Amino acid sequence: MRKITLISLACIGLASLSANAENLKNNLAQCAKVNDSLARLVCFDDLAKKVTSSSDNIKQETIAGSVIKRDPVIAPSVSKEANFGAEHLKKTNVSEEDLQVVFVVETLKKDQYGRWRFTFKNGQQWKQSDSGYFKVKVGESVLLKKGVLDAVYLKKNDPDSNRKIRVKRVK
Query: Does the residue 88 lie in any domain?
Result: no
Same domain, yes or no, for 54 and 107?
Answer: no
Tens digit of pLDDT per residue, the chain (171 long)?
A: 676 766 665 666 555 555 566 777 788 788 888 888 888 888 878 877 877 764 444 444 444 444 444 444 444 455 555 565 655 555 555 566 668 888 999 999 999 999 999 999 888 899 999 998 989 999 999 999 888 888 899 999 888 888 999 999 988
Main-chain dihedrals φ then ψ at residue 45, nearest 5 degrees: -60, -45
Predicted TM-score (pTM) of this structure: 0.46
DSSP code for 75: P
Are residues 162 and 109 both part of a single domain? yes
Q: Is 68 found in the same domain as 6?
A: yes
Does residue 152 contact residue 144 with C-beta atoms inside 8 Å?
yes
For residues 114 and 153, state if they share a domain: yes
- On whether both 24 and 56 belong to a single domain, the answer is yes
* Domain that residue 146 falls in: 96-169
Q: Are residues 103 and 67 in the same domain?
A: no
Compute CA distances 123 → 126, 139, 142, 151, whole Å. 10, 14, 14, 21
